[in-house]
Amino acid sequence: MFENVTLQVHAGQRLGLVGANGSGKTSLFSMVLGQIEAESGELLQNSHDLIAHVSQESPSGPGTALNFVMDGDRELRDTQRSIRAAKDCDAPDQIHALFDKLEQIDGFTAESRAARLLHGLGFSEAEFHKPVREFSGGWRMRLNLAQALMCRSDILLLDEPTNHLDLPAILWLERWLKRYPGILLVVSHDRDFLDSVCMRIAHIERQQIQVYNGNYSQFESHRAEQLSQQQAMYKRQQKEIRHIQSYVDRFRYKASKARQAQSRLKMLDRMTRIAPAHVDSPFHFHFGEPEKQPHHLVQLESASAGYEHPVLSEINLVISAGDRLGLLGVNGAGKSTLVKALADGSTLLSGNRLVSKDTKVGYFAQHQLDLLDGDQSPMEHLRSRAPGDREAELRNYLGGFGFGGERIFDPVAPFSGGEKARLVLALMIRQQPNLLLLDEPTNHLDLEMRQALSRALMEFSGAIVVISHDRHLLRSVCDELLVVHDGTVGTFDLDLDDYGEWLRDQRALNGKENAAGGTPAGGERPGKKQQRQIEAERRRKLKPFTDKVRDIESRLEMKRTKLKTLEADLANPAIYSDPGRKHELTGLIRDQAALNSDIGTLESEWLDASEALELARSGG
């Protein structure tokens, strides 16, 4: 998977590991954990370093959530067992020493530390003492994550830690990881998470690992710059090779020129060939133009939605052509309930659902992966929805979703979650819907597929309603945000970046209500006006910080655009072959260096400004 690789990571560094599926990310983690050995070379670690990672096995058992998380602190549990044994043996000196050790390892605060982890990951206080076996699969995986974070580790390995988290929990985890003092190695397909947490990116490609300073966005920028320069050098070299080869072909059999031709042949043999730069994604697809596009697609009037009991009430929502809505809300708030009510009315308990006769819904949800026929192949699934299309056309279509060769005829039962998700998306898109209802469409998808989906959705001419914890997707695709909170659906007038702070404000208000027996300290229930005042005051305080970040981002974008144009000029072979353009070439190279320097400075300023904004948001 990779060879001749040298990689160093030090305490305090947060390294994001990226690369195509199958490139070796999980294998590298297995090496660090000692589960597999390197075929050559050495893996050097401090033998005293404690490594924590998230178990992929779903936990069970009668123990409480709080105790399960505390089990993550292995030294704590060892010390507690030793104390019990010493008490049984009536060894007071040993007991005294063990209690000293317990204090040294913060053992007396262990329960409160575990409770903070559970709270941050979305567990209510009432659930702290609930048996682990009573939680659903996704919440059990959160318990695994909390247990790994509880470990006072020197090295923390996280493989897709955001997979089972909602957006508030992701935002909390980002803040926690930024304070982690050890070595953090993280694999993630969430680019905003990588941007927020990581200070370096290790990219696995073509059996090599290249490390880049900065977060994921900076990695993309640096890599694009490298690829641009590589392509320019490749074109120059190809021109030189053609020139030398032309000389050899003309004179290799001419006695007077044979020696020079032979010399040039040796030059070609010794030349280190530059590979052409390419970053072609294996995914390339788009949504077809809907056959019909009615203005009003679906409407909910004075609706309540839920199952046996209402989860949401007084829903008044109209989805019109061109709407691009993102739904925010904690897990369990009712986002999926709302989408199902829009999709087919299956969760509608009262009120009206009005649908245009020309509305054609494309609905994606995780449970649809289980509805695929495991015995059928991708080709059979697609042919059932497009019986009249030629096989060559269907092959090309499936190829755009990463299904190629004979794999399109394999049964889908053993496919990975990502492959099944891609197939469900392919089948949905083939129907040419005019309304897309997407419930966590990026779960199981890697970075390249997420990017391809974002591009396709940006070009889609129909209406979109999307639930996602992928903030990059929400920013790219959605024009308006709705928040599902406390049984209601309303417009979220703030920026997506403000959602975490808004949610903390709501919890603080609810805390005041509960402390006062149902009303806040002032005696009145906080209404929308009071909430708007709180939000306006917070925006006023944050405005200098957000303005500075946006100003730097604007200047960065301008510099990067100039650099892209300049590098396009440098990629033109004519500028290197024309002696009269030497002065122009020198100027371009000088400008390129200046722009790269300016971009580096601005990126450092952006990091400082972003940290200041984050600190202001958290109340620091």
The secondary element (H helix, E strand) that includes residue 200 is strand 200-205
The candidate with the shortest Cα–Cα distance to 531, out of 578, 566, 492, 569, is: 492
How many other CB atoms sit within 10 Å of the CB of residue 121? 23
CATH number of the domain encompassing residue 541? 1.10.287
* CA–CA distance, 502 with 421 (Å, rounded to integer): 32
Helix, strand, coil percent content, the chain, rounded in steps of 5: 50, 15, 30
Yes or no: say if 123 and 65 are a contact pair by the CB < 8 Å rule.
Answer: yes
> Span 17-22, mean pLDDT?
82
**Residue owning tokens 């779960």:** 443
Which range is least confidently modeled, 12-16, 473-477, 575-579? Answer: 575-579
Considering the domain architecture, whether residues 214 and 224 belong to the same structural domain is answered as no
Is the pLDDT confidence value at 171 over 60? yes
184, 219, 254 - which closes a domain: 219
pLDDT band at 64 (very low <50, low <70, confident <90, very high): very high
> Span 382-387, mean pLDDT?
88
Yes or no: say if 177 and 5 are a contact pair by the CB < 8 Å rule.
Answer: no
Most confidently predicted of 332-341, 384-393, 520-529, 574-583: 332-341
Is the pLDDT confidence value at 298 over 70? yes
> Span 437-461, mean pLDDT?
88
The candidate with the shortest Cα–Cα distance to 171, out of 381, 471, 438, is: 471
Look at residue 477 and tell me if it is in a domain: yes
Look at residue 472 and tell me if it is in a domain: yes
* CA–CA distance, 66 with 118 (Å, rounded to integer): 8
> Span 50-67, mean pLDDT?
89
Q: Give the model's pLDDT for residue 369.
A: 86
Look at residue 597 and tell me if it is in a domain: yes
Q: Quote the percentage of the chain above a pLDDT of 90.
A: 33
Considering the domain architecture, whether residues 384 and 426 belong to the same structural domain is answered as yes
Yes or no: say if 416 and 444 are a contact pair by the CB < 8 Å rule.
Answer: yes
Considering the domain architecture, whether residues 214 and 242 belong to the same structural domain is answered as no
Tokens read off for 26: 């999980």
Tokens read off for 121: 């990951």
Which residue range is the domain that position 559 belongs to? Answer: 533-617
Q: Give the model's pLDDT for residue 279.
A: 52
Query: What is the tally of structural domains in the chain?
Result: 4
pLDDT tens sequence across 460-482: 989 999 999 999 899 889 989 99
Mean residue pLDDT of the chain comes to 84
Considering the domain architecture, whether residues 57 and 182 belong to the same structural domain is answered as yes
* CA–CA distance, 171 with 469 (Å, rounded to integer): 10
Is the pLDDT confidence value at 36 over 70? yes
* CA–CA distance, 58 with 138 (Å, rounded to integer): 9
Yes or no: say if 519 and 525 are a contact pair by the CB < 8 Å rule.
Answer: yes
Is the pLDDT confidence value at 525 over 60? no
pLDDT band at 224 (very low <50, low <70, confident <90, very high): confident
> Span 413-436, mean pLDDT?
90
459, 492, 525 - which closes a domain: 492
pLDDT band at 303 (very low <50, low <70, confident <90, very high): very high
Considering the domain architecture, whether residues 29 and 67 belong to the same structural domain is answered as yes
Distances in Å between the Cα of 304 and the Cα atoms of 246, 318, 338, 378 are 78, 15, 9, 38
The candidate with the shortest Cα–Cα distance to 399, out of 236, 243, 282, is: 282
Q: State the amino acid at position 80 in one-letter form.
A: Q
Q: Give the model's pLDDT for residue 272.
A: 62
Is the pLDDT confidence value at 398 over 80? yes
Q: Give the model's pLDDT for residue 89.
A: 85
CB neighbour list of residue 492: distance below 8 Å, 6 or more residues apart = 328, 481, 482, 483, 499, 502
Tokens read off for 470: 């992928």
> Span 529-533, mean pLDDT?
58
Considering the domain architecture, whether residues 230 and 324 belong to the same structural domain is answered as no
Q: Give the model's pLDDT for residue 404.
A: 83
Q: Give the model's pLDDT for residue 274.
A: 56
> Span 65-70, mean pLDDT?
94
Look at residue 183 and tell me if it is in a domain: yes
Yes or no: say if 251 and 260 are a contact pair by the CB < 8 Å rule.
Answer: yes
Yes or no: say if 216 and 10 are a contact pair by the CB < 8 Å rule.
Answer: no
**What is the DSSP-derived secondary structure letter of residue 136?**
-
Yes or no: say if 358 and 292 are a contact pair by the CB < 8 Å rule.
Answer: yes
Considering the domain architecture, whether residues 363 and 400 belong to the same structural domain is answered as yes
> Span 331-337, mean pLDDT?
90
Considering the domain architecture, whether residues 317 and 252 belong to the same structural domain is answered as no
Residue 210, strand partner residues: 203
> Span 570-594, mean pLDDT?
83
Is the pLDDT confidence value at 208 over 70? yes
Look at residue 286 and tell me if it is in a domain: no
Buried b (16+ CB within 10 A) or exposed e, 327-341: bbbbbebbbbbbbbb
Look at residue 520 and tell me if it is in a domain: no
Q: What is the dihedral of CA 275, 276, 282, 287, to 10 degrees?
A: 170
pLDDT band at 520 (very low <50, low <70, confident <90, very high): very low
Q: Give the model's pLDDT for residue 217.
A: 85
Of residues 267 and 426, more confidence is placed in: 426
Is the pLDDT confidence value at 524 over 50? no
Is the pLDDT confidence value at 516 over 50? no
Which range is least confidently modeled, 302-311, 316-325, 546-555? Answer: 546-555
Give Rg (Cα) of the chain: 29
Tokens read off for 465: 């309603």
Considering the domain architecture, whether residues 379 and 258 belong to the same structural domain is answered as no
Considering the domain architecture, whether residues 123 and 26 belong to the same structural domain is answered as yes
Of residues 198 and 276, more confidence is placed in: 198
Look at residue 287 and tell me if it is in a domain: no
Considering the domain architecture, whether residues 430 and 479 belong to the same structural domain is answered as yes
> Span 369-398, mean pLDDT?
89
pLDDT tens sequence across 239-291: 777 777 776 777 666 666 666 667 667 766 766 665 554 455 577 788 888 88
CATH number of the domain encompassing residue 395? 3.40.50.300
* CA–CA distance, 132 with 47 (Å, rounded to integer): 33
Distant-in-sequence contacts of 498-501, Cβ < 8 A, 24+ apart: 498/538, 498/539, 498/542, 499/167, 499/168, 499/171, 499/328, 500/167, 500/168, 500/171, 500/172, 500/617, 501/538, 501/617
pLDDT band at 105 (very low <50, low <70, confident <90, very high): confident
Most confidently predicted of 62-71, 211-220, 235-244: 62-71
Is the pLDDT confidence value at 615 over 50? yes
Predicted TM-score (pTM) of the model is: 0.70
Look at residue 513 and tell me if it is in a domain: no
Most confidently predicted of 209-213, 434-438, 553-557: 434-438
Residues in the chain: 620
* CA–CA distance, 13 with 292 (Å, rounded to integer): 53
Of residues 221 and 372, more confidence is placed in: 372
Q: What's 507-572 look like in SS3?
A: HHHHHHHHHCCCCCCCCCCCCHHHHHHHHHHHHHHHHHHHHHHHHHHHHHHHHHHHHHHHHHHHCC
Considering the domain architecture, whether residues 26 and 135 belong to the same structural domain is answered as yes
